[in-house]
């Protein structure tokens, strides 16, 4: 009986693996086809002759390396700020006793509900007035602002669950709040921080509407621009887009699979201490 | 100890915040510095090298931001753009042209936010007539510029009217196309059709003959919804016995409940009910739709002549012919076409280097027809081209299309170029709806009329 | 929950840097949007104050508005219904699979991929058979020809087809969150339960599910808010069509603001969206407070 249910579970999980990983495989095939094959071909069809030219086009016409560099820079700065800022706020609203705590919590909670596209026009005016249009800050700042609500939400939820005894004894010993935050709270919060990193990373890595609106200079463009290089008014180069998507997803997959190991380790550590 | 580390952290944070602020300001200052610095230090240094072809060219170092919709290096438009820009920069070392290339949808969205925040780039892209209206305020009139070097006379007669208001011309189009029916001769032969239809009844009969042979009659990318509208407007152009229906509605002389409009909706419905279009057309985007025809899976494509080059170079290229949209119920003149004046280059009213920008655009527009001709991209040019297309190696299809241009006796422009955007959206969705369910033509007319009344 | 009493300056240091960026770039713009919602404005030329006329139009005259609200809420309901399944699978994985984290990583792949590609992929699933659509192809080959249809263009079913894609794409996302929660349950609790005779599914029922409630709530809120803003996938696959049959509040807002040039009206829709989110989030919070109180 037990063995049977075990195999049923394995079968279920295996089917899920296939359905969830198939897109990646499909994308690889896609990126090696000609436009005609892509538009006319069926779901399982193979490329007749692999179109490596798609990758060449993606690499050169899509300015892959340059855009990649920009994306990495913008993403890293954003991630760093999001982690620092939102964990500080999360700590403050989950632990400090202050009058405006609930209000601030509510303000941040509301932020999760605000659709990015509704802020496009007001932001354009603000950025023009503080003269950061067409600079990296025009991406980094809104990315931080839009990522913090959800991060604060996740982190404060976790921090509320951390037992208070350790902090109390440290406080008795005369440790400052900053020290407690840095050497007790942050290390314990590694697992939710990992979650925050992944969620923020995938949102900003693929973000295009803001980037296209606030950035004009070639030298500042990020990866999603590369995809749209191949979309002209009456013509789309699907194969090159596929190739570019592969190249664009590669770093994410890499980072993700490296991090996912750390998440589990971090999670176990968090669980033990928690 | 508590106090001390509080202080340290506070200082560190303040420092961080300041740094953030400073960097933001820094980048701003840098921008300013480069601009003023260039103007100051470089003045006069280029005097010797300046070719000085344009009267207004000075030696001041200028940067012109050129927003455009030609991002893909594989397309002829991209090659044309870069060739002309490179040449101009070579001739005018003091001028730097910053190209910002993006896809059409994104450019439309971006220009809207730029117009709202007064940050329109020196050169941008706008669309004709009704779509141009909202932007007039932020654009510079080009009257003086088109008079220079005889640029105005290179354009086809009347074309610039679509880009003019109150006696001022605001933009210069990159093309001018007409709507035609491309058809696959082999597939027509398979269905036993000997000659292209000249009346709508023949057209419907051909559609049914093709369906009987299991051939998709017409490829349509109706997800983008302007495609179906473009075809529908062609029918309306016939049932109205000539152009100007929408203009009459705008002027209050007619309503959408006019028999001509209802007749057009009925004809369109007949087409859809005869299964003239591929299954699931409303989920198929423009490019995929075109590809159904270009891979020989559909017999016809009713589209603007900008497709000629792409059809030529596709797998079915040699088998494709072209015919004029037939008369409907005996009405209309096949030599009247749906006209598609193209996207157009406009100059920002706030341009820092207005004169230099105009000078450059004058050169650009003068060179464009020549370059387009060389790149075999000149079918549907908005400017008069005197070269011999046949000798230059243009295909038979291209030459047939060019003949139609010559016989052209006017026509209508697209719905969204004639009506306000809100009415256009209601129209597009109403036509798209006909593809997925049978409707009462009177209801479609009422839908149009109420959208029109609400947004007059 | 312990509460530290700290000087106001310390609080300022912790909260202000983030709060300032956030208020300046998210809160202020949305306040501006609320203001814009009282304008008749194309976004470019002079605006005209029209009071609450935009809201009147929205609630009473726009035939596309309420269907869009319905689609959006259904989207949210389906997304939230998925989460118990994710929790169930997470519990199974925790019990049966040794290196479960690798599996979770694999399930997460669709989340990482850009929506552009997800949309393209699923279109090849839903396409008509003559265009190589997989689903119709399968139905044909098993003799269910009468079931084949044009999935994305029949107004009555197109929306459901979109829900399916979304559920598939975000399965890994919620599984990851639930798995984090399940993993965080201390092993000792299970061992204690084992002594009391609770094992396997029984221990899931009495330990895993109740203890996962806080994380479950996170998923519910995320799913809800995520689906209310559902835009990308709909935009790529159907563009809200045919004839608004798959419009969500977010796509309707986008077309109103930027295609119809009715920026003021678009802002009114945005305002509605934010208020609706707020109300439902408060409801969810209240419900969970009760549930949590029951279990702790």
pLDDT tens track for C7-62: 888 888 899 999 999 999 988 998 888 999 998 888 888 888 888 889 998 998 88
The whole-angstrom separation of Cα B374 and Cα B247 is 38
Q: Is residue C87 part of a domain?
A: yes
Percent share of chain B, pLDDT over 90: 64
Please list every residue in chain C whose beta carbon sits closer than 8 Å to the beta carbon of residue B436. Answer: 153-155, 242-243, 245
Asked if pLDDT for residue B452 goes beyond 60, the answer is yes
Q: Would an 8 Å CB–CB cutoff place C101 in contact with chain B?
A: no
Burial class (CB in 10 A: 0-12, 13-18, 19+), B72: buried
DSSP secondary structure letter of residue A185: I
pLDDT at B34 over 70: no
Q: Report the CATH number at residue C213.
A: 1.10.3720.10
For residue C15, what is the nearest residue in chain A, using CA coordinates?
A: A89
Residues 6+ apart with CB under 8 A from A25: none
Give yes or no for residue A59 having a pLDDT over 90.
no
pLDDT at B1: 37
Residues 182-241 of C with CB under 8 A from A: 183-186, 214, 218, 221-222, 225, 228-229, 231
Query: What pLDDT sits at residue C123?
Result: 84
Interchain proximity C273–A113, CB inside 8 Å:
yes
What are the DSSP E strand ranges found in B287-410? 298-304, 320-323, 337-341, 344-347
What b/e readout covers B393-408, taking b as 16+ CB neighbours within 10 angstroms?
A: ebbebbeebbebbeee
Tokens matching residue A45: 């069809």
Per-chain mean pLDDT for chain A: 83
What confidence category does residue B84 fall into, taking pLDDT thresholds of 50, 70 and 90? very high
Using the predicted structure, report yes or no on whether residue C107 has a pLDDT greater than 90: no
Rounded to whole angstroms, how far apart are CA atoms C51 and C40?
Answer: 9
Residues of A in contact with C112 (CB under 8 A): 202, 249, 252-253, 256
Per the prediction, chain C carries an average pLDDT of 85
Q: Nearest CA of chain B to the CA of C77: how many Å?
A: 25
Architecture of the A63-237+246-272 domain: Orthogonal Bundle (1.10)
Whether the predicted pLDDT of A194 surpasses 90: no
pLDDT of residue A193: 87
pLDDT score of B330: 93
Assigned domain for C114 exists? yes
> What is the reported pLDDT for A2?
67
Provide the shortest C-alpha distance from residue B314 to chain A (in Å).
9
**pLDDT score of C285 more than 50:** yes
Confidence band, pLDDT 50/70/90 cuts, at residue A117: confident
- Residue C137 touches chain B, beta carbons under 8 Å: no
pLDDT at B190: 95
Confidence of residue B31 (pLDDT cuts 50, 70, 90): very low
B416: contact with C, CB 8 A cutoff: no
Asked if B72 and A237 come within 8 Å (Cβ–Cβ), the reply is yes
**Residue B213 pLDDT exceeds 90:** yes
User: Above 80 in pLDDT, residue C197?
Assistant: no
pLDDT at A42 (0 to 100): 64
Q: B285: closest CA among B137, B432, B389?
A: B432
Q: How far apart are CA A178 and CA B6, in angstroms?
A: 7
pLDDT at A70 over 90: yes
Region C251-255: mean pLDDT is 90
pLDDT digits 0-9 by tens, C59-73 = 988 889 999 999 999
> What is the mean predicted confidence (pLDDT) over B334-362?
94
Q: Which of B13, B223, B436 is facing C239, going by the closest CB pair?
A: B223
Q: What is the mean pLDDT of residues B425-431?
A: 93
- Predicted-complex ipTM score: 0.82
Minimum distance, in Å, between the CA of residue B98 and any CA atom of chain A: 8
Nearest CA in chain B to A35: B291
Which of A41-45, A146-150, B102-106, B392-396 is least confident? A41-45
Contact at CB, A261 and C5, closer than 8 angstroms? no
Most confident of B41-45, B59-63, B175-179: B175-179
Instruction: Tell me if B390 sits within 8 A of B399, measured CB to CB.
Output: yes
Res B400: pLDDT = 93
Q: Where are the domains of chain A?
A: 63-237+246-272
The distance in angstroms from the start CA to the end CA of chain C is: 13
In this predicted model, which residue has the larger pLDDT, B368 or A175? B368
* Cβ neighbours for C209, distance < 8 A, ≥ 6 positions apart: C87, C91
Q: Decide if A160 touches B, using CB distance below 8 A.
A: no
When pLDDT is cut at 50, 70 and 90, the band that residue A1 belongs to is low
Name the minimum distance, in Å, from the CA of B188 to any CA of chain A. Answer: 21
Is residue B32's pLDDT more than 70?
no
| Average pLDDT over every residue of B65-83 | 90
Which chains neighbour A (Cβ–Cβ under 8 Å, 3 or more pairs)? Answer: B, C
Mark yes or no for CB contact B116/A121 under 8 Å.
yes
Residue B4 has pLDDT above 50, yes or no: no
Of A66-70, A187-191, A260-264, which range is least confident?
A260-264
C-alpha to C-alpha distance for A141 and A208, rounded to whole angstroms: 15
Note whether C244 contacts B223, CB cutoff 8 Å.
Answer: no
Q: With an 8 Å Cβ cutoff, are C261 and B13 in contact? A: no
> Helix or strand or coil: residue C7?
coil
Q: How sure is the predictor about B9, in pLDDT bands with cuts at 50, 70 and 90? A: very low
CA dist C205 and C209 (Å) reads: 6
Distance of alpha carbon A29 from alpha carbon A130, whole angstroms: 46
Predicted local distance difference test score (pLDDT) of residue C99: 77
- The structural domains of chain B, ordered by start, are 6-175+342-387 (3.40.190.10), 177-339+412-455 (3.40.190.10)
Q: How many structural domains compose chain C?
A: 1
Q: Which domain holds residue C180?
A: 63-295
Only one residue has tokens 């026009």, namely A121
Q: How far apart are CA C231 and CA C228, in angstroms?
A: 9
Stated as kind and residue range, the H or E segment containing B247 is helix B245-250
């Amino acid at each position: 009986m037990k063995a049977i249910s075990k195999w049923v579970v394995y079968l279920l999980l295996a089917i899920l693996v296939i359905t969830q990983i198939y897109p990646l495989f499909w994308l690889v095939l896609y990126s090696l086809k000609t436009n005609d094959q892509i538009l006319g071909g069926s779901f399982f069809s193979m490329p007749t002759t692999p179109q490596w030219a798609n990758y060449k086009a993606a690499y050169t016409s899509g300015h892959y390396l340059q855009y990649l560099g920009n994306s990495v820079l913008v993403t890293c700065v954003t991630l760093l700020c999001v982690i620092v800022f939102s964990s500080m706020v999360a700590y403050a609203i989950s632990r400090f006793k202050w009058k405006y705590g609930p209000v601030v919590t509510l303000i941040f909670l509301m932020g999760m509900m605000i659709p990015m596209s509704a802020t496009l026009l007001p932001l354009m005016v603000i950025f023009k007035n503080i003269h950061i249009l067409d600079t990296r800050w025009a991406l980094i700042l809104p990315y931080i602002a839009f990522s913090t609500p959800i991060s604060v939400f996740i982190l404060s939820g976790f921090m509320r669950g951390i037992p208070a005894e350790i902090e109390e004894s440290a406080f008795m010993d005369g440790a400052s709040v900053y020290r407690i935050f840095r050497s007790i709270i942050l290390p314990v919060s590694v697992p939710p921080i990992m979650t925050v990193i992944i969620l923020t990373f995938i949102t900003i890595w693929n973000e295009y509407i803001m980037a296209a609106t606030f950035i004009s200079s070639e030298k500042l463009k990020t990866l999603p621009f590369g995809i749209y290089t191949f979309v002209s008014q009456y013509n789309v180069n699907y194969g090159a887009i596929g190739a570019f998507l592969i190249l664009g997803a590669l770093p994410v997959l890499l980072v993700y699979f490296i991090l996912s190991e750390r998440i589990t380790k971090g999670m176990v550590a968090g669980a033990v201490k928690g | 100890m508590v106090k001390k580390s509080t202080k340290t952290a506070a200082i560190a944070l303040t420092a961080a915040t300041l740094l953030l602020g400073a960097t933001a300001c820094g980048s701003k200052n840098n921008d300013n510095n480069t601009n003023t610095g260039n103007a100051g230090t470089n003045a006069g240094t280029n005097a010797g090298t300046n070719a000085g072809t344009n009267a207004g060219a000075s030696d001041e170092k200028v940067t012109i931001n050129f927003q455009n919709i030609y991002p893909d290096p594989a397309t002829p438009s991209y090659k044309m753009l870069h060739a002309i820009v490179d040449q101009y920069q070579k001739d005018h070392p003091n001028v730097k042209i910053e190209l910002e290339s993006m896809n059409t949808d994104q450019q439309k969205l971006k220009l809207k936010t730029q117009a709202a925040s007064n940050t329109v780039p020196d050169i941008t892209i706008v669309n004709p007539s009704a779509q141009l209206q909202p932007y007039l305020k932020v654009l510079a009139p080009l009257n003086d510029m088109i008079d220079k070097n005889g640029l105005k006379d290179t354009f086809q007669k009347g074309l610039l009217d679509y880009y003019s208001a109150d006696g001022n011309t605001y933009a210069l189009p990159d093309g001018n196309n007409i709507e035609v029916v491309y058809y696959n001769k082999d597939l027509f032969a398979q269905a036993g059709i000997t000659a292209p239809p000249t009346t709508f009844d023949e057209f419907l009969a051909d559609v049914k003959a093709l369906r009987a042979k299991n051939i998709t009659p017409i490829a349509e990318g109706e997800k983008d919804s302007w495609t179906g509208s473009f075809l529908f407007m062609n029918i309306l152009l016939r049932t109205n016995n000539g152009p100007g229906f929408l203009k009459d509605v705008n002027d209050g002389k007619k309503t959408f409940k006019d028999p001509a409009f209802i007749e057009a909706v009925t004809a369109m419905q007949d087409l859809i009910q005869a299964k003239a279009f591929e299954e699931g057309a409303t989920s198929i985007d423009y490019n995929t739709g075109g590809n159904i025809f270009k891979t020989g899976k559909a017999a016809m494509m009713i589209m603007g002549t900008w497709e000629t080059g792409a059809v030529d170079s596709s797998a079915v290229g040699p088998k494709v012919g072209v015919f004029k949209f037939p008369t409907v119920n005996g009405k209309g003149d096949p030599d009247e076409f749906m006209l598609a004046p193209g996207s157009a280059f406009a100059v920002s009213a706030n341009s820092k280097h207005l004169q230099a920008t105009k000078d450059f655009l004058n050169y650009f527009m003068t060179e464009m027809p020549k370059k387009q001709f060389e790149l075999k991209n000149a079918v549907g040019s908005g400017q008069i081209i005197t070269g011999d297309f046949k000798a230059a190696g243009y295909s038979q299809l291209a030459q047939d299309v060019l003949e139609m241009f010559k016989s052209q006796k006017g026509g209508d422009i697209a719905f969204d170029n004639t009506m306000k955007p809100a009415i256009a959206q209601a129209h597009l969705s109403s036509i798209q709806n006909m593809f997925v369910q049978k409707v009462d033509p009177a209801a479609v007319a009422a839908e149009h009329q109420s959208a029109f009344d609400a947004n007059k | 929950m312990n509460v530290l009493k700290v000087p106001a300056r310390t609080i300022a240091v912790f909260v202000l840097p983030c709060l300032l960026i956030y208020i300046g770039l998210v809160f202020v713009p949305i306040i501006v949007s609320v203001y814009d919602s009282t304008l008749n404005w194309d976004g470019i030329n002079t605006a005209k104050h029209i009071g609450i006329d935009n809201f009147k139009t929205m609630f009473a005259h726009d035939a596309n508005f309420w269907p869009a609200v319905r689609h959006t809420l259904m989207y949210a309901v389906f997304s939230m219904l998925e989460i118990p399944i994710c929790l169930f699978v997470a519990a199974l994985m925790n019990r049966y699979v040794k290196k479960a984290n690798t599996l979770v990583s694999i399930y997460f792949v669709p989340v990482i991929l850009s929506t552009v590609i997800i949309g393209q992929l699923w279109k090849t699933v839903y396409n008509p058979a003559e265009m190589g659509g997989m689903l119709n192809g399968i139905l044909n080959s098993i003799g269910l020809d009468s079931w084949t249809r044009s999935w994305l263009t029949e107004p009555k079913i197109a929306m459901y087809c979109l829900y399916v894609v979304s559920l598939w794409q975000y399965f890994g996302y919620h599984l990851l969150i639930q798995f984090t929660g399940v993993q965080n349950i201390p092993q000792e609790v299970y061992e204690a339960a084992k002594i009391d005779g609770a094992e396997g599914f029984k221990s899931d029922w009495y330990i895993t599910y109740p203890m996962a409630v806080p994380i479950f709530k996170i998923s519910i809120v995320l799913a809800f808010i995520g689906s209310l803003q559902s835009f990308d996938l709909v935009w790529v696959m159907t563009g809200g069509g045919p004839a608004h049959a798959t419009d969500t509040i977010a796509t309707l807002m986008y077309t109103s603001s930027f295609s119809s040039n009715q920026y003021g009206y678009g802002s009114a829709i945005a305002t509605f969206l934010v208020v609706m989110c707020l109300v439902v989030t408060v409801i969810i919070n209240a419900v969970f407070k009760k549930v949590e109180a029951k279990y702790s």
